[in-house]
Structure 1
């Protein structure tokens, strides 16, 4: 192998040997400007090693083993993605601190209450949520873009100096149980085509989980369907309202808010019932007789009107 330079454009050359090939990784200490220090608090200055041209199938464990001789590796971050992870960690830690403060304030503000005697109630063990059977249990490595970068964060700054101190001897790439190369794609092909028994077990477990969630939601929202809600002691819970404006389960009435506030009933005037027409036989006969009389009256009126029009004519042939 030809002699490799120690540094290239400020990067230290780190040769890594595979079985039949050699891969070159470029490394330098990670440094940020003063204005960006507040944004990159997850990449501490003085303990972070910046790597370029990282193998696309490299894992965090393999990189940690590669620099194990230099010092303890705290964590490895690929492709400048740690900021979001650490922001989530910081938000989680802040929320935990806030919850602890609230609990302390509540404990200080509330007076000490005497413990109440609780009745012993036989509680049935709630069934655990079923777990979905995975289609494949093979662990595959994550493939990234070629020529990617990574940040290696050490626990001590002295480990960073050892990692970039020359001359650098070629190191063999650590081995792992995860398949690599063509074996990786063969394992991926097999994991995407599981046997029918595994597919059936996965589908059955997914349906069981769905039924469990539906039953749980139905139990929590039983009042929406007019079902009676029973507490732990076996008593029916009486509440006002519901999906149909009735008390849960039926059979128990609860006064409305207006009656509870004023104590007066809502006096509404009832509509007077109208007598039905043509209900009896004599009503039908009278209705028909009246219709015939109206027709005769209208005929006589029309006849008189026509005679009057005839008399008003100027020309009378006869």
Structure 2
């Protein structure tokens, strides 16, 4: 058996033996390599000292897998939790785009927000920023509105079509331990493991959990979940359209109330109304679009003219072309004069 390197750069190599499916039980078991090091993110946090950065996690990894793995290495009670790459990405988006710490915040429904009314989301963001500037707290009506929207959003979620979500191949995770000493013990256990492998050649076994079975059971579960109950599906679709219509009507009411409200600089945004009929508004929008298009074309033409004689070689080429054009016109005029002379014949003045 080929020797396994103890380290790879800053990472310690942790080999594990994956469970062998019964369909290929006659083949030798597969070996997977985890790469671990102390967590050192660019933006430091209070838990960096007791966390471990893990790379190349298996695609079906769960918290139960790593809890059992570290328990077999250093004993139970030291591993606390783990956050995978997808979860950390969602938390970063949630922290940057939401002002709520609830688990049911609006940022948890990213795919749902992509199909919501565009005007509703824009006006909601504007109102949220204005509330933050004014330092106002959420009243009971606002809290009730958010609770109702989150309830509708939960109800509008379609049933899951996969029994388990898989991680991206080669993804990462951050394992959190009870204290910094536990991280040292884990790294020492990984180093001792390589010494034991030299004699026993036995890799730590990756825990086999019934809830994370892949292969045929995983595909069979997907085939079963791909056809949900019609009543549940109808309730989800009805809740989605109810929420869509609710936010659309709310956006129209909010736009009406904010039409003549001055902003922080004291300016009032004047919106074009439809007092003179719908046709006048349509014609005005078409005229504005035509003017904007004409301005864009004029700007592009000015840019093209400014760049015509910008470089020295362009000036030389232009002068050469002008000289050739003058020579060509001179030859044409000379031929024209010769032709006129031949046509008139020899001139003989009278005696």
With the length of structure 1 as denominator, give the TM-score of the two structures.
0.45
Query: What TM-score results when the alignment is normalised by the length of structure 2?
Result: 0.42
Pick the structure with greater CA Rg: 1
Bigger helix share: 2
